Amino acid sequence: MPFEKTGLNYAKEYSQALAQAYPYTLFFGALWNATKPDVKFLRNDTVILPSLSVKGRKNGDRDSIGSFGRNFNNAEEPKKLKTHRTWDTLIHPRDIDETNHVATIQNITKVMNEEQKFPEMDAEMITALYALKNEIEAITEDDVLTLANVLTKFDAMMDKMDEARVPAAGRLLYADTPTKTLIDTAKEAARNLSAQDTAVARSLDRIGEVEVIGVPKSAMKSAYKFTDDGFEIAENAKEVKMLLVHTSAVIPVIAYDFAQLGAPSSLSQGKWTYFEESFEDVFIYNKKHDAIQFYIERTA
């Protein structure tokens, strides 16, 4: 990011640079990168979600011309982005010199992105997906996962997607650290049995169809609260053991409205200043909600 040029709004360049980093720096980076080109901005804080439906496929008649009628409906829906976040800092020129240029604005924002913004965005993603899915179909609790049942429980999630005609290619399985270990251990044990047990062989085939992504338990909660100093786990949060999702159902939206470096001046009392703000949110296609499956263990 060209921080040597001051007084310019870097929002566009900043947004592009962050988008390139998402798959490598966020646990849910693939979901944040699943932008939809048909989602358009009405304003910086409002987007238009498309909703197109069709009907009327019928038998043909080679001997006559039938009548034409409107067999599609376009119901665009405006959505205001709920999350409005800002960050600012100042830095004295001597701090840059005395830290051998470690404490530059570019280095400071890099650390802020990796240690504050990106973890917060992971929290935003899973919070939004859980809430939106739960509004459409209540997310229920299931058995405690064990070495014996983890692949079977995963199979059931896959079967539900199959029945809803969710594309097989592109499914992602996010699992918290203990569950990821269970899956890996179960896969290894199952390989020794697969030749004799067709059910075990099927489970191995199914788990091989998805990319399994391990996520720390701290980032796999159903709800987070966002504050003036980052975020924290909500009091009513549940532990998410597995999240099976197809990116086609997820609509991430981020608009960096402002990102600017200010040169030292009398108003800043001789210090460099930096300020950025973003509007962001996560939506889903309600008709594709079956492409989002949560696994929550039953609590006593």
- Per-residue pLDDT tens over the stretch 66-89: 888 888 888 788 888 999 999 999
Judge whether 76 and 49 are in contact, CB under 8 Å. yes
> Does a structural domain hold residue 79?
no
CA dist., res. 203 & res. 157, Å (int): 12
Number of domains in the chain: 1
176 pLDDT more than 60: yes
> Does a structural domain hold residue 55?
no
Judge whether 252 and 292 are in contact, CB under 8 Å. no
**Which pLDDT value is given to residue 225?**
95
- Per-residue pLDDT tens over the stretch 273-290: 999 999 999 999 999 999
> Does a structural domain hold residue 57?
no
> Does a structural domain hold residue 205?
yes
> Does a structural domain hold residue 80?
no
Domain that holds residue 93: 11-33+87-297
**Which pLDDT value is given to residue 134?**
97
> Does a structural domain hold residue 165?
yes
> Does a structural domain hold residue 123?
yes
**Which pLDDT value is given to residue 137?**
96
**Which pLDDT value is given to residue 3?**
46
> Does a structural domain hold residue 71?
no
